[in-house]
Chains A and B, each alone.
Chain A
Amino acid sequence: MAIDFDIDFILGHINYWLFVILMLTGLYIVVARGNLLKKIVGLNLFQVAVFMLYISMGKIGGGTAPILTGNPDEVYSNPLPHVLILTAIVVGIATTSLGLALIVRINESYGTIEEDEILELDHQKSQSEIIKVAKEASNDS
């Protein structure tokens, strides 16, 4: 099945192109940024992109909200994906707020929200554990 990449195809699927761009932008920020707060922003973009995917698939051109009007020929959008995505929005809010709460706690106990500094502090702690172990081993012998 060959797809013609003509202008109609691209413009006709503009929502989906934007979904792909937004999703990859979000994912890139999560992976590439070291600041925990920026990672959460990226995660948010990533999730919002999925909302767009679901909303687009339920939308019918020229369709109204799915409310009974008495006219049997009324064209209306599919409400199910929209309802589903309400759930996902709630999940997204919960995730974001939990992530932010964790960042506050991390900032309180580490004094930084930069990932490499946190890794460095964690690494130092593991190293001190190993040194302690080695010292105790040499004391025994």
Chain B
Amino acid sequence: MMSLVENHAAILVVILPLIAAPLAMLFGNRNVAFLLSLAASAGSFLLSIYLLMLVKDGAVLAYHIGGWAPPLGIEYRVDAANALVLLIVAAISLAVLPYARTSIEKEIAEKNHTLFYACFLLCFTGLMGVTITGDAFNVFVFLEISSLSTYVLVALGAEKDRRALSAAYDYLVLGTIGATFFVIGLGLIYMATGTLNMVDLSERLASMEGNRTVRSAFAFIIIGMGLKLAIYPLHRWLPGAYTYAPSAVSAFLAATATKVAIYVVIRFMFSVFSIKFGFEQDTLKYIFFPFAVIAVFAASFIAVFQINVKRMLAYSSVAQIGYMLLGIALFSATGLSATLVHLFNHAVTKGALFLAIGAIIYQIGSPLMANMSGLGKKMPWTCAAIVVGGLSLIGVPGTVGFVSKWVLLMAALEAGLWPVSLMIVLSSLIAVVYVWKLVEILYLEPLPKDSQAREAPLSLLVPTWCLILATLWFGFAADFTVHVSDIAAQSLFDGKFGQDAIIMGTEGRS
């Protein structure tokens, strides 16, 4: 039994939530649905730890679905980069689910709770599938599974604020345009090469740099994914979706959805198309780099003036995505490693912050800063979590935020771009402003006399503090994340995704 699970770990991380979703619907009981979701997330979480342990020193695993060998069959392929992303998605899902059980009681009508869990599981399935698959078209299929359920999850916020509906609609239109651009890109590379398997693609594309079809395919794929990951000028859907979605959904999306999209961009840039292509280096230099810098400054600056805390965190997410793109745009293994470290660190930090804000909203019923004055005295644990998360967002030593900023600074200095490292430090100062604004309201403003606020229930505090402790733990013991990211970045940079893989799950197949 154990060896069966181990052999099929690569498919089980996706299949578990995929099976649990319709089961949760069929049982129709919200407690059963919750337990099923929790079990599926826990299973995926344990298996993604197992997968990460197998690949953390540079091995590549392959799994042939149904025993059909690629390029005919669909292949799942795990290396250090996507094992790390798998772990992020599964860990955040496991932390958010127990939180969601309490938080949705005030946000979503009880009859919709089973549907919420089903959608959540489908979204989770999609994100895991996008990350693990080694087949380019399969990326699109899973992307749409996760996107469609995300639109529903965002729209579920409509019971508190009807603006969730227009936010979900905007997200649907822009997300569909993004996904369709992505499919056009895939169609064009299929026309040029006749294959959709990523390893096969990279072999055939290697000699096709001058091919116009390949170039336009690259453009379509990057723009399509750019919409999904909210590269600075394409981020219009993000603030609305994060602000009006239910708290648990905001936390889950902020921590996972854009991260997975960034992973897909990295995978296509480095493993499918070759990074040696001139047009790709130009894209990094003239598109990613300036927009990343603009994102970091403009979005942080906009965040300062928000009166809605969730909206403020959403704009801060756009800025943090800028840091990740900056890492890619530095065009070095250290830069890429900085991106991957930040992917993990920002997921933990932003997830924790959205959960903590959600706990305040659960108690006072409003996401506006003005209604939160003086809560530091009434909700000490929640507010302490916000302070630690905020420090990590700024990049104070002792938190994960510091680790990512440090690695990014080193990468910028290594590339000889000292103005960039100066900009990283300067933009952190803007983060100080908006984090301080929140801290000031929570601790230094007087509490309204008629305030009924109490400390959040344990079911909200425990998941929040699990992520906060992870923020601190990986801030001190950064060896693990930095090691995995270095290995992943190096193997991406050297194009080792296509190396001879250990094939899993062949036992018992004829």
Contacts and interface: CB of A to CB of B under 8 A. Distances in A.
B148 A94 contact: yes
A47 B180 contact: yes
B344 to A, nearest CB: 30
Max chain A Cβ within 10 angstroms of own Cβ: one of B137, B176, B191, B369: B176
A71 interface: no
What size tier do the contact residues of chain A reach?
Answer: 35 or more
B165 A105 contact: yes
The secondary-structure label for the interface of chain A is helix
Interface string A93-107: 011001100110110
B368 A95 contact: no
Contact of A125 (B140, B158, B163, B184): B163
B173 A53 contact: no
Given A39-B173, A46-B177, A140-B446, A109 B162 contact: yes
A54 B187 CA distance: 6
Given A43-B176, A105-B165, A106-B169, A98 B187 contact: no
Given A84-B137, A98-B148, A43 B173 contact: yes
Given A81-B190, A140-B446, A36 B368 contact: no
Contacts of A118: 166
The secondary-structure label for the interface of chain B is helix
What size tier do the contact residues of chain B reach?
Answer: 20 to 34
Nearest to A84: B137
A74 interface: no
18 contacts: A36-B169, A43-B173, A50-B187, A81-B190, A87-B141, A88-B140, A91-B141, A91-B144, A98-B151, A99-B172, A102-B155, A106-B166, A109-B158, A109-B165, A129-B307, A129-B368, A132-B370, A133-B370
Interface of B: 137, 140-141, 144, 148, 151-152, 155, 158, 162-163, 165-166, 168-169, 172-173, 176-177, 179-180, 183-184, 187, 190-191, 196, 307-308, 368-370, 446
Interface of A: 23, 27, 30, 36, 39, 43, 46-47, 50, 53-54, 57, 81, 84, 87-88, 91, 94-95, 98-99, 102-103, 105-106, 109-110, 118-119, 122, 125, 129-130, 132-133, 136-137, 140
